[in-house]
Structure 1
C-alpha cells in the first residue's frame, strides 16, 4: 500500500475513526484503525466490536494512490501524523511496517495485519428514512439523556426507535423519567421498532457534522447511519423494550407555564442548598396560584426558597417533590422560550413540555416520594 495525502485530511479522518476505539480492548487489533487504499479512495475503520465508524476519503482529497493494500494503524501512527504538516507519503510493506514521510521527516511504525480486523456488512438496501443532521441531532439530544446508565436492566440503556406513518419517534426511560420526541415524516412502509444503545446514538452526533443523515437496517442486528463520507455501525440491543403506558396529555388538575430560562436559573439556585455528595437532591414545587415556590432543605447545609411568576396558570394549588437534576435535564433539552408543567397529583407523574416546538416533545417524570 502506498499513497500521498494532505496531513490535515488524514488527521481529521483518523480523529473520527479513533473516536470509537477502546484502548483497553482485550483484542489488540481493535486498539487500532484499519486503513485500506483502493484504486480511488482510502477507507479508515475504527471499532470496539459493538460499534464501528467507517470514514471514506474520496479521490478528490487524495494526492495520489500508487499501490492498493491495507494495514491497521496503532494509536502511535495517529500521534505521529497529528504532529506533522504538509503532504504525507504513507507506504506499508509486506510485513505491515509502515513508513510515514514528509519532506523533512520519516518514521517507521509497526502496524498490524488488516485481515484480522472486524468485518462489517455492506449496505445493500435503500435508506429507511433520511433526515437533516440538525433533526437527527435534536431527536437524539432530547431523548438519550433519559436512558438508564445501570446494568440492572440493559434494555433501558437503549433509545427505542419507532418509524411509522405517524413519523419517527425516539423514546428513552430509566423507569424514573421518560423523554419522547416525534418527528413527522412521510413513511408508507411496514412499521419498524428497534432499540439502539443511547451512548451509540450520542457518539453518532459527535462525528457526523452537517451532512444529511440516512438510516439503514441490515439483517436483524445492524443499525447503520450514514452522513456524507462517514458511516456508523451499531449493533441493536438484545431484548424487548418494555411496553410503556399511554401518556394522557389532557385533563390535568393543575397546569403552570413558566419562562424556561428563569426556571433553569431558579432550579440551579435551589440545587446549591440541596445538593449532596452523589446527587443534586430534591425541591418542593409549590404551586399556589400566580406563583410557584421552589423550596429546598438540607440538614447539613441549610434551606432556601425561590419564587417564580407564572406566565399562565390554571387549576388547583398543588405541592410536589421533584428531582432537581431530572427537571434541569428536561428543561435544558427544550428549545421553547416557555415551558408547561402539567401536574396530576402529589404522588403522580408530572409532565414538562414546550409551549411551541417543531415536533412533539414530552418529558414525563416521577415525583420524589
Structure 2
C-alpha cells in the first residue's frame, strides 16, 4: 500500500475517526485505526463496537487533487501514535507506505517515522446496512435537533434506556425525545419525502454527541438508515454507525399537561440571565433550586436562598403573565439548559400549579418542547 496525501485533509479525517476509538476496548485491534487505499480514495475507520466511523477522502474532488500515487492496500495503525505524528509533520503532504511485513513508513519533508502496523484482515467487518429504508434531512437541522434534546438524557446507568434519545418517524414527521425522569426535551420536524417509518428506536446519547461534533454546519443532506439494532448516518464523506439501545422507551406523551393555569411570555436572554444570577447562591443545594413567583400582569420575582450563604432576589419584567398567581421552585441547572436549547428570542412557559411539571416552548409555537418537574420546598 502506498499513497501521498494532503496533510490537512488527513488530519481532519483522523480527528473524526478518533472519536470512535477507545483505549478501553476489549478487542485489541480496535485500539487501532484502519487505513484503506483504493484508486478512488482513502477510507479511515475507527470503532469501539458501539460506534463506528468511516471517513472517506476522495482522490480528487471539485478539481482538487487530495491523494495521488495510490497503490491499493490496507493496514491498521496504532491510534495512540498516528494522529500526533500526522499533526506534527513538517510539510503539506504526507507519504504513507506499508510493506508485506506490516511495516509502515510515514514521510513528510525530512521527517520519517516507521511504525508497526497490524493486519487489516483481522479488523472486524462493519455491518453493511441495507439503505432501502432510508430518508434524508439537512445536516444543520439534524444538528439542531440533537442539540435541543440530547442534554436531557440520563447519565445514570440504572435505567440504561434513558441514556438514549428516542427517535420516531411516522406520518412524515421525525421526532426526538430525551428524558432523565426529572425533565424532558423534545423536537419534531416534518420529513415530507420520507418513504419509510420506524416506531421507536433509542440512540445512545453518547453517539449523538459525537455525531454532532463531527457533522459540519451545512445544508448538505445526511441520509439516515435504521435496521433492527443499528443506525447509520451517512454524508458524502462520512459513515457514522451506532448501535441502538435495547428495550422499550417509556411513553412520555402522557407527562405533558394539556391545559395550563398560568402562562408567562418572557425574553429568553433576560430570563436566562436572571436565573443564572440566582443560581450563584444556590450552588450548595443538591438541586441548585431557584424560586419563581409571578404577580400581576408582567412582574416575575426570581429568588434563591442558601441558609449558610445568603439570599438573592431579582424582579424581572416579562412580556405578559396570564392566569393565576404562582410560586414554584425548580432546578436552575435544568431551567438554564432548557432555555439555552430552545435558542429563540422569546419563550412561552405554561404552568399547571406549583407541584406539576411545566412546559417551555418558543413563543412562535415551533415544535420544540422542554418539560421540567418542579422541586418541593418547604
TM-score range, shorter chain: over 0.9
Determine the C-alpha separation between the residues in 1 that align with 2:173 and 2:151.
21
Specify whether residues 66 and 253 from structure 1 end up closer, same or farther in structure 2 by C-alpha distance, changes over 3 A only.
closer
Contact 1:165 1:188 in 2 (8 A): no
Which of 181, 185, 209 aligns to 1:175? It is 181
- Say whether residues 1:89 and 2:95 are aligned partners: yes
Larger mean CA deviation between 167-176 and 304-313 belongs to 304-313
Question: What is the TM-score of this pair, normalised by structure 2?
Answer: 0.93
1:287-333 residue CA offsets vs partner (Å, 9 max, x unmatched): 11221111111011111111111201111101111111000000001
Which residue number corresponds to residue 202 of structure 2? Answer: 195
1:217-250 residue CA offsets vs partner (Å, 9 max, x unmatched): 13x1110001220110000111111122435565
Determine the C-alpha separation between the residues in 1 that align with 2:205 and 2:262.
33
Which residue number corresponds to residue 39 of structure 2? Answer: 39
Secondary structure of 1:252's aligned partner: coil
Per the TM alignment, residue 25 of structure 1 is displaced from its structure 2 partner at its CA by 2.5
Contact 2:257 2:352 in 1 (8 A): no
Per the TM alignment, residue 213 of structure 1 is displaced from its structure 2 partner at its CA by 1.1
Secondary structure of 1:273's aligned partner: coil
Determine the C-alpha separation between the residues in 1 that align with 2:239 and 2:339.
31
Determine the C-alpha separation between the residues in 2 that align with 1:242 and 1:127.
25
- Say whether residues 1:76 and 2:81 are aligned partners: yes
Which of 295, 306, 315 aligns to 1:298? It is 306
- Say whether residues 1:224 and 2:232 are aligned partners: yes
Determine the C-alpha separation between the residues in 2 that align with 1:108 and 1:167.
52
Per the TM alignment, residue 147 of structure 1 is displaced from its structure 2 partner at its CA by 0.6
How many residues end up aligned between the 2 structures? 366
Secondary structure of 1:215's aligned partner: strand
Contact 2:133 2:195 in 1 (8 A): no
- Say whether residues 1:105 and 2:114 are aligned partners: no
Per the TM alignment, residue 29 of structure 1 is displaced from its structure 2 partner at its CA by 1.4
Gaps of 5+ in 2: none
Specify whether residues 63 and 228 from structure 1 end up closer, same or farther in structure 2 by C-alpha distance, changes over 3 A only.
closer
Which residue number corresponds to residue 53 of structure 2? Answer: 53
- Say whether residues 1:24 and 2:24 are aligned partners: yes
Secondary structure of 1:327's aligned partner: helix
Determine the C-alpha separation between the residues in 2 that align with 1:216 and 1:325.
34
Which of 229, 236, 246 aligns to 1:238? It is 246
1:254-288 residue CA offsets vs partner (Å, 9 max, x unmatched): 111111000010001001111127x5610111111
Per the TM alignment, residue 127 of structure 1 is displaced from its structure 2 partner at its CA by 5.6
Per the TM alignment, residue 93 of structure 1 is displaced from its structure 2 partner at its CA by 1.1
